A and B are shown apart, each in its own frame.
Chain A
Amino acid sequence: MNNLKARFTGAFRFWQRNADVFRSHYLSSVVGNIGEPLLYLFGLGAGIGGMIEKVDGIPYLQWIAPGMMAAAAMNAAAFECTFGAYTRMVEQKVYEGVLATPLEVEDVVLGEILWGATKGLMSSAILLLVLSALGLFDRWASVPFLLIEMALFGTVFAALTMCVTAVSKSYEFFNYFFTLFLTPLLVFSGIWFPVARLPAWLSSFFLIFPTPHAVNIARYLFHGGGVIMPIIGILCLAACAPVLIWLAMRLVRRRLIPAP
């Protein structure tokens, strides 16, 4: 029990380290966080929104808003736990330095994942603010649930990308990861159009990834509707998180500490 507490404190210490570094240059990060979704909203709203009146009875911009929130969380967590974590682990050998303190590999990995989730949560929360300011969101009762969801989804995605980072040989590898994995997820997760328009095998295949679930939950919290898919989504995300965290810990330990 005492041990467990020490492990969580250790993870929190590493989280704090990342937060300290972030605080010294948060402004550039926040500008990007607000700017990018505004571009999308303006461009897509003017462009596609003009052609499409409504999806499922909801104006197009409102309809894509929850998916954009999930996408923001996903991107932020993925960037942090690929390029960011790889730099710390391999280039700067920060982990090696930390391992000479009472912290263990698992603490560092958990701290890193929680930090990735935090970045995801921040990005999506900022987007929610932007959406509210533009009048595209006003279901205030949903806010706490949305934030919890994004934190959970951020954790899942951070853990998933941490696994990728643990086996990555170089930065090049992440280019493949982003084009071959992240881009399809952005396209086929029901962010920009209903997955019902896709062949059934394709849309069901993508349900093995966390993103469509996160989009379903967020859309439910924005606009209501069918409750079954969101509930399945919550169960999937909640089940994936510990498994992926455990896997990330195993993989990073294997990479950093050569087995005897």
Chain B
Amino acid sequence: MDAVSAKGLRRSFGTFEAVKETGFSIRPGECYGFLGPNGAGKSTTIRMIHGMLPRSGGELNVMGRDIDLDRPAIKAHIGVVSQENNLDRDLTVRQNLLTYARYFEIPPPEARRRAAELLAFVQLDAKADARLATLSGGMQRRLAIARALINNPSLLILDEPTTGLDPQARHLIWRRLNMLKRQRITIILTTHYMEEAEHLCDRVAIMNGGEILLEGAPRELITRQIGEEVVELHVEEGKMPAAIEAVRQICENYDVHGETLYLYSRECKKLAQEVMRLEHRMIVHRRATLEDLFLKLAGRTLNE
């Protein structure tokens, strides 16, 4: 049984279609990412999955049941970290967890045990009795994750869990999410960091304008759309037309973003050597990433 399966899923706000007839199925224990530019419909999609938004049409089963028919029962097995901070600012760090546990009818001794465990898990034990206002953005995000785990969910949903965090805080969250993956918790996340998606997600769906454009394992998608490697040419100002002219002789698959030329090829080594002969400020030869795929799509279809 799929953890989540959607068929012809739609959602409109008035006459505006935020999510158009999308389908996907998410397997138990999988980490599935929704990517896409602002307004693509990522949050709308996952808010439907956790029952916050009713759908306009289509089918949506979460853990085998129709979410809109059996909401409280299904929600009992889901953990949610939403895009906007909605921690309870009137309560301390620990109280946030204990109060949340009460909403799930977790008995107090068990709740206290889990709260202590989770605070250690997200490295907030030292802040247990602190007021929320004294916590940094990264700490609040970690607390939100701990809170989402208080009911031992089998499905964890995270809407941009690391947006606005410094690299260190982000890596700490990644390590924690990887630990949860190893416990076979199904994870659904959205992110604007391609590195994050590549690092965490077994599969990603790239959305735009309410539709899923591409779906698959990150590496597979990259190889299929771009190849294994990329050569980047950082071109001096005003020399772009000349550079394009020169590059065209040796590679036809390229994109331009700002001052940079991206060359895609199956044989990048050879390509790189040839490019070296052209005189440009900087050349980088590296592995292709989701970011390349994203930029390539952006050049064509994603409207930013």
Contact = CB atoms under 8 A, between A and B. Distances in A.
Interface of A: 6, 9-10, 13-14, 16-17, 20-21, 92-94, 96-104, 257-260
Contacts of A258: 13, 53
Interface string B5-17: 0000001110000
Contacts of B57: 260
Given A20-B95, A92-B86, A92-B88, A98 B103 contact: yes
Nearest to A108: B103
B115 to A, nearest CB: 14
B201 interface: no
A6 B95 CA distance: 22
A21 B56 contact: no
A258 B52 CA distance: 10
A6 B105 CA distance: 10
B54 A259 contact: yes
A257 B13 CA distance: 11
B48 to A, nearest CB: 9
16 contacts: A17-B91, A17-B102, A20-B95, A21-B91, A92-B86, A94-B86, A94-B88, A96-B82, A97-B86, A100-B75, A100-B79, A100-B148, A101-B76, A260-B11, A260-B53, A260-B56
B54 A257 contact: yes
A21 B99 CA distance: 11
A93 B52 CA distance: 13
B13 A93 contact: no
Given A92-B89, A94-B86, A96-B82, A101 B100 contact: yes
Contact of A104 (B71, B76, B80): B71
Interface in B52-100: 52-57, 71-73, 75-76, 78-80, 82, 84-91, 95, 99-100
B102 A100 contact: no
A252 B28 CA distance: 35
B52 A9 contact: no
B20 interface: no
A154 B80 CA distance: 34
Given A20-B99, A92-B89, A101-B104, A260 B55 contact: yes
A93 B84 contact: yes
Contacts of A9: 105
B88 A13 contact: no
A12 to B, nearest CB: 9
A257 B11 CA distance: 13
B42 interface: no
B103 A103 contact: yes
Nearest to B74: A102
A260 B86 contact: no
A237 to B, nearest CB: 31
A100 B50 contact: yes
The 6 closest A-B pairs by CB, nearest first: A101-B103, A93-B86, A100-B80, A97-B86, A260-B56, A102-B72
A17 B99 contact: yes
Nearest to B56: A260
Nearest to B100: A101
Contacts of A97: 82, 86-88, 100, 147
Contacts of B76: 101-102
Nearest to A17: B99
A96 B89 CA distance: 13
A104 B71 CA distance: 9
Contacts of A98: 103
Given A10-B103, A20-B95, A257-B53, A102 B86 contact: no
B11 to A, nearest CB: 7
B88 A17 contact: yes
A93 B104 CA distance: 19
Most buried by B among A13, A92, A96, A101: A101
Interface string B147-181: 11001000000000000000000000000000000
B82 A20 contact: no
A6 B73 CA distance: 11
Given A9-B105, A101-B75, 13 more contacts: A13-B102, A93-B84, A93-B85, A93-B86, A94-B90, A97-B87, A97-B147, A100-B50, A100-B75, A102-B72, A102-B73, A257-B53, A260-B54
Contacts of B102: 13, 16-17
A100 B82 contact: yes
Given A94-B86, A97-B87, A102 B54 contact: no
A87 B162 CA distance: 26
Nearest to B147: A97
Contact of B86 (A13, A17, A96): A96
Nearest to A7: B72
A96 B151 CA distance: 17
